[in-house]
Amino acid sequence: MSSTASSSKTDDAEALRRHRILSSHLYYDVPPSKVPLIYSPSYDIAFCGIEKLHPFDSSKWGRICRFLTKEGIMDQKHLVEPVEATKDDLLVVHSESYLKSLNSSLNVSMIVEVPPVAMLPNFLVQKKVLHPFRKQVGGTILAAKLAKERGWAINVGGGFHHCSSEKGGGFCVYADISLCIHFAFVRLNISRVMIIDLDAHQGNGHEMDFSDDRRVFILDMYNPGIYPLDFEARRYIDLGVEVKSGTATDEYLTKLDHALEVAEKKFDPDFIVYNAGTDILDGDPLGRLKISPDGIASRDEKVFRFARERNIPLIMLTSGGYMKSSAKVIADSIVNLANKSLIDMRS
């Protein structure tokens, strides 16, 4: 194929992507009576106990909101309900062949790492597994619009950072971070995005998707000795900070402070995607780090303060976290952000 033909094909693909983004219904005007905290009861995954076969707490999203309600920090009626991402929305990043592969229950079972899912009729997999994920994708995409308008937004779900345009894995079926950023480029007049990925695992999905896109700067602070061990994707991290198994709170926070200082000197973003996995928590069986609950609150506070002091809109995604205690830790951190006036939970 000639370079001219190749260039024309690329232009056509970009035009189609732009058309899909502009035609999407995932962005809508949220009334001021709502706080920029996005959640739907559809987020939680529960089907005959099969969800218990994966260490991920697939009901943590609802539990976070119940904790926040119990704390008196918010009323459920003030939450923002996202729209489910459609096939056209997903095609903004994903290929037709990848989405078609999800019509195989076996393929989905390998991505979510729950073997019995392979035995289920695919219509049930679509309804009980993929529908919740598509709702969360809608939440991540909408969060960007809300953050642009109000300075911050939190999607109580999302953060599927192991999924790229062509490949899912690690309980991540759709590339919500990549989708969110592409929507923001087209709809929000955003041109420079910093991903701050502080989940314990390397964010290999978005790293592959933005491998040659200089509009996106990736700060990834991760345990190099655990999944996904994606050495190709590591080449595309702009600022990598390795935190080895057993790293404790003080050392972790010191490394984060330094990383944020370096990132600021290297890149000037007009938008931040913060992937705030709680699998760094002490005792998490997969993250293997030793960060205290207060340490997680301090971590989140540092990132929000970094954005606030520079007047950069920020979205937070809850991402990984494999202990029942994660939901309370996340809720407590959100309460801390409100108490420090880094977010405003008043409707």
Token pair listed for 106? 């076996």
Catalytic choice (94, 162, 201, 206): 162
Q: CA torsion sign, 134 to 139 to 142 to 144?
A: negative
HEC sequence for the chain: CCHHHHHHHHHHHHHHHHHHHHHCCCCCCCCCCCCCEECCHHHCCCCCCHHHHCCCCCCHHHHHHHHHHHCCCCCHHHCECCCCCCHHHHCCCCCHHHHHHCCCHHHHHHHHCCHHHHHCCHHHHHHHHHHHHHHHHHHHHHHHHHHHHHCEEEECCCCCCCCCCCCCECCECCCHHHHHHHHHHHHCCCCCEEEEECCCCCCHHHHHHCCCCCCEEEEEEECCCCCCCCHHHHCCCCEEEECCCCCEHHHHHHHHHHHHHHHHHHCCCCEEEEECCCCCECCCCCCCCEECHHHHHHHHHHHHHHHHHCCCCEEEECCCCCCCCHHHHHHHHHHHHHHCCCCCCCC
Is 162 assigned a catalytic role?
Answer: yes
Q: Which amino acid is at 54?
A: H
Give catalytic residue positions.
Answer: 162
